[in-house]
Every structure is written in C-alpha cells, then in structure tokens.
Amino acid sequence: MSGPAFVLAFVVLSAFRDVFFADALRSAPFFAVALIAFATCTAAFLLVALCERERTLRVVLTDWRAFLLMNLFTACAWLQYFQSLRFLEPAIANVLHAGLGPLTIMAMGAIGWRIVDAGRMTAIETACQAAMALCLVGLVAVALAGLSAGEGGTVALTGCAFAVGSGIAITLATLYAKRLHDQGASAAAVVATRFLGVLAAAMVALSFLPDARAAAVAPATWLALAPAAFVFMAVPIYFNQIGVKRASPLTVRVLLALGPVFLIALQTLAGGTKLSGYSLAGVAAYCAIAIAAALMRAVSARINARAVSAPAPA
C-alpha cells in the first residue's frame, strides 16, 4: 500500500503548490514561472538519477516512443491546464482536470486502447465514476450558462475544452510513465526526463516574449521561485512518481481525483475561495463522490491484495 500513500502525499502537497503558484503567476509571467519551476524539477532529479546505484536513465531513453509521448502529453496537459485558468472559474478547471483521469482510463478500456494494465473497477466503483461523470457534465453546464464566477458562453466553452484536454493528456502521460516504470526506470529517472517538452515549449514562447524572457533570466526571479519550486513541485512530483511506479494507474488516477478536495479546503481556510452558489453545489457534490470513489478503491485494493496473498488450495 506504499504506492497509494505516496500519491496521497502528492495530493496534499499539491494543494499548497497550487495556492503558492497561483500567487506567483499573478506577479511573474507564466512562461518564466513554468521555465524556472520545471527546470528546477528536472535538474534536481537528473542529479538523483545519475547518483543512483542502478542508473535507469538508459531505460527511459531506450523506449524512445514512450519517452516522446510522455513528454508530449505532459506538455499538453500543463499548458492546457494553465490556459483553462484564464477562461474558467479555477475550482471548475481544477475539478475537470482531476476528475477526468479515471473516466479516461475507463473510456480507453471500453475501446480497447491499452498502454499498460491499468487495473479494473468493481461495480460500485463504476457507479461512483458514473456519478462523477454526471457531476462534471453539470459543472460544464453551469460554466456555459454563465452561472459560475467566470464568464459564460464561448469563453467558458474554451476554458472547458482546455480543462478537458488537460485531464485526458495528463492521464495518458501517466500511463506512458507507468510503461517506463514497468521496464525498470526509477522514479527519479522519469521525473528527470518527463518535463523536457514543457521546458522546450516555454523556451520557444520566451523567445517571442522579451519582457517574460527578461524575468526568466533575472537572478531575483530564480531566487524567489526556485526554492519554492523544489519544495512545492519537485518533491511532490517525485512522491507521485513513486506512487505511479508502485500502484496501478487506475488507483493513481482515482486518488489524484481527490486533489480538488484538499485544494478547496485549503483555499477556504485561507479565505481565497470565490465560488458562485451553483459552482459550490457542483464542487461539493464532486468532493463527496471523489471521497467515496477513493474509499471504494481502497477497499477493492485491499481485497485484491488479500486474494493474491492467500495460499493456494491443496
């Protein structure tokens, strides 16, 4: 059960990350923040990967297709998610991004698209995910109708498209990372190579944005953001990658769907949550369903573990 514990640690720490970087994005250009944050993650765990007794970077680079697709989908996910925040109420964007993970894996199973063995759901878990899907559809309807704290109509539709795309893309990135782990890659090796696509996109964007480029190369910006990036991004991402390595993708995505629960709780305590009544109702329903789904997943995992460890009949 160590894998789920690491994923839950990531979920909790990510709530603090999102609160911190929400403030950072208001005071510094997006691509400058992205470059510093992901460069810090990559550099820190490249050193770890090079110092490991069993160096597994070669495993990552040998399966070049999984390596490239992991980077492609990771870059698409992060860039789309941050774009969605420009058009949507943040809570709705976060819920769509996190909640689509298990549903994406279920949809892939239904059409026979298999990247790795993602695990299976019980009937009760499937019912929870069906309720989750209805909740997400309801939140999209609230956004489109202009009943959230953000704009409705085309603006909300654009934001929802970005959030949905980010949720699907990050799930695919997780599955390709799991494939590399199954082939022997360590968590550090995957973290050290997972964000190269994001860094490339940030550097291309900065080449066209002189003000943002100036901020990205300023020592003061690095001193302000790099330590926080290590604590709030590099360490949690490493925990999550350990969880991805040790748990099934379905378990990982179900637990990651709890992210909005902790984020909204933290923002509420800090006085930073601004939700319309309709959004609050939808987010509250999502949180209840996400907690129920995580509990059902924990029960299912325990039953499966007992079945595997039970002695065979004589």
Query: pLDDT tens-digit profile of 17-31?
Result: 777 766 666 677 888
pLDDT at 309 over 60: no
pLDDT tens column, 133-164: 999 999 999 999 988 877 889 999 999 999 99
Who wins on pLDDT, 66 or 120?
66
- H-type alpha helices, the chain: 2-27, 30-51, 57-62, 64-87, 90-111, 123-144, 153-182, 187-194, 196-206, 210-217, 219-229, 235-246, 249-256, 259-270, 277-309
Angle at 167 between CA 299 and CA 76, to 5 degrees: 140
Q: For 228, which DSSP code?
A: H
What is d(CA 146, CA 82) in angstroms, rounded to the nearest whole number? 20
Residue corresponding to tokens 């599955």: 175
| Cβ atoms 30, 82 nearer than 8 A | yes
Share of the chain above pLDDT 70, in %: 92
Q: How confident is the model at residue 307 (pLDDT cuts 50, 70, 90)?
A: low
Average of pLDDT values for 72-83?
90
Spatial distance between the Cα atoms of 176 and 36, rounded to a whole number of angstroms: 25
Beta-carbon count within 10 A of 3 CB? 18
Burial code (b: 16+ CB inside 10 Å, e: under 16) for 112-122 equals: eeebbebbebe
Which bin fits 203, alpha (ψ -120 to 50), beta or left (φ > 0)?
alpha
Least confidently predicted of 8-12, 23-27, 93-97: 23-27
Q: Average pLDDT in the 195-200 region?
A: 94
Residue 56, pLDDT > 90, answer no
Confidence of residue 312 (pLDDT cuts 50, 70, 90): very low
If one compares 285 and 55, the residue with the highest pLDDT of the two is 285
Q: What is the pLDDT of residues 208-260, one digit of tens each?
A: 999 999 999 999 989 988 888 888 888 888 998 999 888 888 888 888 888 88
Which pair of tokens denotes residue 35? 């470059």
Q: Are 171 and 101 in contact (CB under 8 A)?
A: yes
pLDDT tens digits for range 251-284: 888 888 888 888 888 777 766 666 777 888 888 8
Question: What is the mean predicted confidence (pLDDT) over 112-135?
Answer: 87
Which amino acid would we find at residue 172? L
Confidence band, pLDDT 50/70/90 cuts, at residue 100: very high
**pLDDT score of 92 more than 80:** yes
Rounded-to-10 torsion of CA 194, 197, 198, 200: 140
From 25-29, 51-55, 85-89, 250-254, the region with the lowest mean pLDDT: 25-29
CB 267 within 8 A of CB 22: no
Q: How would you class 76 by CB atoms within 10 Å of its CB: exposed for 0-12, middle for 13-18, buried for 19 or more?
A: buried
Q: Where are the domains of the chain?
A: 2-309
- Residue 313: its pLDDT value, please? 47
Q: Give the pLDDT of residue 305.
A: 61
User: Token digits for 36?
Assistant: 């510093």
Does the pLDDT of residue 8 top 60, yes or no?
yes
In the chain, the amino acid numbered 146 is G
pLDDT mean across residues, the chain: 86
Handedness of CA 220, 224, 227, 232 (dihedral sign): negative
Q: Which single residue is written with the structure tokens 């637990």?
A: 255
